[in-house]
C-alpha cells in the first residue's frame, strides 16, 4: 500500500527530509551560544564606552579602579568566547531514528 490519501512514499519522505532540514536550520539560528555571545559583546562594548568616558568623581568612588572599563572588557571577552565556541563547535544535525536508518 504505497499510496495513501494521494501521497506516495516518495512525497512523504521528501516532506520529512525538508522539515528536518528546516528544524536543523532553526536550531542553529536560535542556538543559545549565539544569543548569549551577541548580548555579552553588545553590552560589553557599551559598558567599555562608559568606562572610557568615566569622570574623576566616579573613579574616586571606586578607589581609582575603572570598574566599567574592566567589567566591559570581561563581558566582551566572554561574549567573544561564546561566539568562537559556536564557530569552532557548531551543532551537529540531528540523527535519524534507528528505524529510519535501517529502512534506507
Q: What's the CA gap between 52 and 67, in Å, rounded?
A: 10
pLDDT tens per residue, range 29-40: 677 888 999 999
pLDDT tens per residue, range 4-60: 567 788 877 777 777 766 666 666 667 788 899 999 999 999 999 999 998 888 888
pLDDT tens per residue, range 57-68: 888 888 888 999
Residue pair 31/83 in contact (Cβ under 8 Å)? The answer is no
pTM: 0.61
Instruction: Provide the percentage of residues in the chain whose pLDDT is more than 70.
Output: 69
Within the chain, where are the H helices?
9-29, 32-52, 56-61, 67-88, 98-103
Amino acid at each position: 500500500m504505497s499510496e495513501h490519501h494521494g501521497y506516495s512514499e516518495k512525497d512523504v519522505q521528501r516532506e520529512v527530509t525538508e522539515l528536518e532540514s528546516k528544524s536543523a536550520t532553526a536550531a542553529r539560528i536560535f542556538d543559545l551560544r549565539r544569543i548569549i555571545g551577541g548580548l555579552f559583546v553588545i553590552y560589553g562594548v557599551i559598558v567599555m564606552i562608559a568606562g572610557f568616558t568615566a569622570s574623576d568623581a566616579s573613579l574616586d568612588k571606586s578607589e581609582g579602579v575603572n570598574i566599567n572599563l574592566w567589567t566591559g572588557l570581561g563581558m566582551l571577552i566572554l561574549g567573544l568566547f561564546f561566539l568562537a565556541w559556536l564557530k569552532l563547535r557548531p551543532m551537529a544535525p540531528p540523527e535519524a531514528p534507528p528505524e529510519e536508518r535501517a529502512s534506507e
